[in-house]
Each structure stands twice: as structure tokens, then as C-alpha cells.
A and B are shown apart, each in its own frame.
Chain A
Amino acid sequence: MSETRLVGVAIWRELHARKKAFLISTAIAATVVIAGLVTLALVIGEEPPRPVVGTLIEDTTRIGDEIGRQLGPEVGFEMAWFEGQREAEEALAGGELSALIVGPREVLWTDSTPSWLADAVASAMRNLYVEEVAASLDLEPADTERLLAPIDGRTLVVDERDTGVEVLATVSIIVMFGAILAYGQWIAYGVVEEKANRVAELVLGAVSPLQMLIAKLAGIGGLGLVQLVIVGTAALVTGRIAGVDMPPVTISTLAWLALWFILGYAFYGTLYAAAGSLATDTQEAGGYITPINILPITGYMVGVISISVGAETLPRVLSLIPFWTPLLMPARMARGSVAGWEIGLAVVLMVVFTLVMARFSARVYLGGITQATRSVGWRQAFRGGGDFAPTRKVPPSHHAGPAAGT
């Protein structure tokens, strides 16, 4: 049987051993995403209650028309006439009314009255008053119109951030962060379990430590990628059906996300495997894994905070450092705030750094996993791993002379 097929057999075991965990975690993740999007759709789709404007003036139609002109045709509201002021004020205090027109020059509202409604009612009443005064002064209709001409108010856009793009950037950070942490733990605990169960000793007689490591990374990485695709597809389909505004995801976005996932996973996966190989049991493994967790946690915090405050410099610098590239670069790309040369540089640095780290981590893994009965430090494992490095020459065999027992 070829060496490649043996790696295939070992990958098969990784898949078999995690079948149940994969199905359960995928189902949970997909359910959470679907439920979240459906809830979001329900909340967005719900119509707010129509505000009610009370008045003690009987001519509700004229007042209502003027308020309607101020609010515009999209905004609905209702008018309610009250005979007594006390009853009307109680309705306002009780929240049944949003505003109360007491007289031609007097309007009441509360703390919870939206300012746009208060402004509209006040403007409407002022206009009606101006019309009355203009009529009493026998002004020409054209002059009255001039008096009532609205101010040309426009909104100057100072923040051009696109919410959809920001959601995509944030989601990409969360996905990469979750994937690195979750699959990293799978790898680390998978390694330490094999070491703690002593089964590594048995397996290492048949396959090399490097083959074991490759099988573990490939098996768990494959499951991770499939899980991301399933959950991502569930999110997109649910969002579309439920009518939620989804981030602008394209094939190119997904391809880049996949590339960053593969590079980030390879980089962190070997590191987590090395950490797992140093411990003798799962409890002890936590001590080796926690310092590694700090790296993606830092990237996650920088990424999310930068998006919320619109910071550029720190994520730009960190996204070029391979520890944080897989977390920050997809987010920067989603926001469109990255130059082509930066992406190219980040890919090259990431590939080179991943190869170097993989070599380092593989050597630590080899040194750690063969120390079945004890935990070892990084340096000790690195030295020990040199014994098993495939490049080391095996001393030539000699067979002269019988065994010299004493």
C-alpha cells in the first residue's frame, strides 16, 4: 500500500471519529444562523404603530391635512378630537396620544414623542396661524405663499459607510475567528487524546508522525470547510427567502474567504497540533493552547472594533502580519479599503510564514507525540523532533559479528 493511501486511511479515521460531533455542531450552527435571520426578518418586517395626534380644535380635517403635508405621504398618523382638555392630557400622559394640539398657538408633547412628529405638528400649526394672520391682513395669495415657502433642507452625507459591506466584513471576521478557534481546538484535543490514550505509539509503528499530522489537518480541515459551506449556504438561502437584506456576497468573495480560511487554518492548525502534542492529557493541553488563542482573539477584537469606529491604520498594518492576516484581510477586502499590492503581499507573506510555521510546528509535534508518558516544553520537543525529521540520514546498517551478550 502506498504512503499516500496510508494517509488516506488515517484521514478516514479522522472523519469517522468526528462524524457525530460534525453532524451535531453543523446542525446547531445552521439552526442558530437560520433562527437568527428569521427573527431579524420578523423584527424588520413589523410595522411600527401609527402615531395619534389629539386636538381640542374641532376642525380636525384642516389640521390633519397640514400635518400630513409636513410629514409627507409615506408617514401614516391619526387625528383624534377631544372635548375636554383634562381627558386629552390624560390620554397624552398615558401614551395613547403622541402630541396634543391645545389651541392654535399651543401644542403639548411628551419626552417620548419623536422629534420629527413634534416638529411636523408645530410647523403645521404655525403655517395655519400664518395663513389666518395673512387672511386678516388681506395679503395676496402669492405673498402668503412666499411667507409659507419651505426651507430647502438637504442632508450632507459625511459618513459614506455601506452597512451591507460592514456586515459582510464583520461576518467574515467572526467566521474566520470561530473557524480558527473551533477547528484549532479539535486538532489540539485530537492530538493530545491520541497521545494520552497511548495509541500514538501503536500508530507510529505504521505511519510517520508527519503522515499522522497531515491526516489530522486534512481530515479536520475538510470537515471544517464543508461545515462552513453548509452553514453559509443555509444563511444565504434563509436570508433570501425571509427577505433580509444580505451582504453583497459574490463568487469572488467566497473564493477569497476560502483561500484565507485554508491559509489561516494551515497556519494555526499546525500550531495547535504542536501545542496538543506537548501535553499528556486534555486538562494540561489547555495550558499550551491558551497562549495561542490570544493571537486570533487579538485579531478579532482589532477587526470588530475597527469596523465600529471606522479605524483604518491598525487593521491595515496588522492585516499584513501573518498572525492576523486571515482574520483582518478578508474584512478589509469586504470593505474595499485594500490595494491590490497589499493583497498580493499578504498572500505571499502568509504562504511563506505558513510553510515556516508548519515546519516548526511539525517538528515540535514529532518531538512531543513520541514522548507518550510525559509533557514536554516547546524547546525540548523541537529538539526531540529533530530525531524524527525525514531529512536526517539513518546511519548505515552493519551486521558483522554475533550479539555480544555478557
Chain B
Amino acid sequence: MLRIDDLHKDFGDVVALDGCNLTVERGQMLGLLGPNGAGKTTTMRAIFGLVRPDTGTLSWNGEPISRSVRRRFGYMPEERGLYPKLTVRWQLAYLGRLHGMRASAALAAANQWLEVFALEERADSKLRELSHGNQQRVQLIAALIHDPELIVLDEPFTGLDPIGAASMADILRDQTEAGKAVVFSSHQLDVVEDLCRDAVILDRGRVVLEGTVKALRSVSPDRYVEVVGTDQSWTAGLPGVEVMERSEDRIRVRIGSSVGFEDVARALARQRVSEFIFEPPPLSEVFKKAVER
């Protein structure tokens, strides 16, 4: 289990981390959310020793994270980085060896992963000759090649097309099911909502919300009601209704805590309704509320 306790880090006058705490268990996929400058990248860099916290501790399975422990972690930095002039297979094998693998095992793993990502034909191409999406895939392989126990990915979905994103999501699911601890940051909240059971929202270097995605959404008193039907007058009788979207036969509204499901049901009782959705706010709404200033 990764445990981060009370992490503080200042860069001059800028407070990057202000008592950050979080835990990630093996077999868990955690989405790390937060606005720009919230401290997500600093937290990840601290895990890999690229930033030394002013105070606070980091541990893996109860042990301080030394360099030898870190070699059992996989990392995909926000600023992607590999050797553009080296061939794909060579540098993947090299990175595997740097993480403690034997040469033959590293080469075998590189070949295996290249096959998984359908990149075997580009194995002996220089990295710079690959498309952006393929370079991103190679970058993910670099994080996975040594079969790490903890996988930390900073904005892994940025720049991927929907097929690439789906493929990346499948790999991360597989890794989680295989018992790996996975942490990734993303501004694409729908991806986090789809992929993660758990999420943490950081703001100004602190955790402002954490828990399962379901719980985070449910905590909000607001609910969204979407109704398909010709008559939209039912909203008039309900207090504190905010219309979010409206078309000829569809309306989506946000209702506050003063209106319950029963109130909505009563208002709609005499309406002709072909579709009806009553749900907690999406993660994006929870996020906005959590970090609004």
C-alpha cells in the first residue's frame, strides 16, 4: 500500500503541498483530480524522489520509499520523456534493465508489450519516427515493462484519441485486476468516473474530497432530473429548480436539498413522461464545488 502522510512542499513563496495525505492499496485504481497547481504532479514527483518534501512521509507497504523500492514502481511523467534517437525496443529493454531486470527478460518483456500494443512492426524504429499516439503507448510500456507493483501516471489520457484512450483504460483495468496499485491524474473527469472506483480531489496542496466516486457524487445535496415529455410546466411548482438544458421535449434541471424524489414524482404524476432520470450530480459538478474559490 502507498501511504502519503502530511506532505508539505514550498517552492519559495508558492505552497505546492500543504499537508497532503492519501493512500492507495494494491488492486485499487485511484483518480487524482484537482485544478492546475493543486499539487498533483508535485505529489507524484515526490513519490519518485524528484521533489523532496519539506516535511511529511511516504511509504510503500510500511517501508520508507528508497530507490530500490522505487524500482518496483512505474511512472509516466506529465512531460513525456524518452530518447527520441534510440529505437523503441532498445530503449524499452534499457529501461527494464535500469529497473533491475536481466537483459534477456527485459528484451522479452519489451517484445511482449509491443505486441500487446500492436507496435511490433515499429520495434526497431527510432522513437521520433512514431506518431504522437504511438509514442504515448511506448511511454506507457516504459512505465509497465518491469511489472511494477505501483503504477503512477500523470495525465495519461491527454492527447489520445478515443480508441487510444479506451485501449489505455483497458490496460489500466487489467493491471488493477492483476493486483497492482494504480494512481493517475486527469482533467478528464468522465474518464475518472468511468474507470475509477476511488478518487481524490486536491486543491492548493491539500486533499479536499476523497472516497469512492459514487460516494463523492452522493455527498452533494443536489440532484439532476431529466425528463422527456411535451409538457415542461411541472417544474413551476417546485422551489429552487435551476434549468440546465432545455429542448422542445427534453428538460434537465438541478434541484436543491429542499426538493426530494417524492416531490418530483408528485409533480410529474399527471404528465406524459417517456424518459425519466433522477441522479446525483456528475463528478465534474462535485469537482467544481470542491475547488471553487
The residues of A with any CB-CB pair to B shorter than 8 Å are: 1, 6, 9-10, 12-13, 16-17, 197-208, 370, 372-373, 387-388, 394-399, 401-406
Contacts and interface: CB of A to CB of B under 8 A. Distances in A.
Nearest to B127: A197
A405 B21 contact: yes
A202 B3 contact: no
A197 B81 CA distance: 5
A250 B58 CA distance: 59
B234 interface: no
Query: B interface, how many residues as a size bin?
Result: 35 or more
A403 B22 contact: yes
Nearest to B77: A201
B224 interface: no
A365 to B, nearest CB: 14
A202 B148 CA distance: 14
B59 A202 contact: no
B113 interface: no
Interface stretch (B93-101, B165-173, B248-256): B93-101
Nearest to A371: B50
A67 to B, nearest CB: 71
Given A10-B98, A198-B77, A405-B209, A206 B70 contact: yes
B3 A399 contact: yes
Nearest to A387: B52
Contacts of A199: 81-83
Contacts of A205: 48-50, 70-71, 73, 75
B85 A17 contact: yes
B5 interface: yes
Contact of A17 (B4, B86, B95): B86
B200 A405 contact: yes
B232 interface: no
5 cross-chain pairs, A with B, having the tightest CB-CB distances, nearest first: A198-B81, A405-B210, A403-B21, A405-B207, A199-B81
Contacts of B90: 16
A395 B57 contact: yes
Given A17-B86, A208-B67, A403-B22, 20 more contacts: A13-B94, A198-B79, A198-B81, A199-B81, A200-B81, A202-B77, A202-B95, A204-B48, A205-B70, A372-B81, A387-B52, A395-B57, A397-B57, A397-B58, A397-B64, A399-B5, A401-B5, A403-B23, A405-B21, A406-B208
Interface of B: 3-6, 19, 21-23, 45, 48-52, 55, 57-59, 62-64, 67, 70-71, 73, 75, 77, 79-86, 90, 94-95, 97-101, 142, 200, 206-211
A261 B50 CA distance: 34
Contacts of B45: 201
A201 B98 CA distance: 13
Contacts of B67: 206-208
A392 to B, nearest CB: 8
A1 B4 contact: no
Nearest to B84: A197
Contact of B207 (A9, A10, A201, A406): A406
Nearest to B200: A405
A351 to B, nearest CB: 29
A401 B23 CA distance: 11
Nearest to B203: A406
A373 B79 contact: yes
8 contacts: A6-B98, A197-B82, A204-B49, A205-B49, A206-B100, A372-B81, A397-B63, A398-B57
A405 B77 CA distance: 25
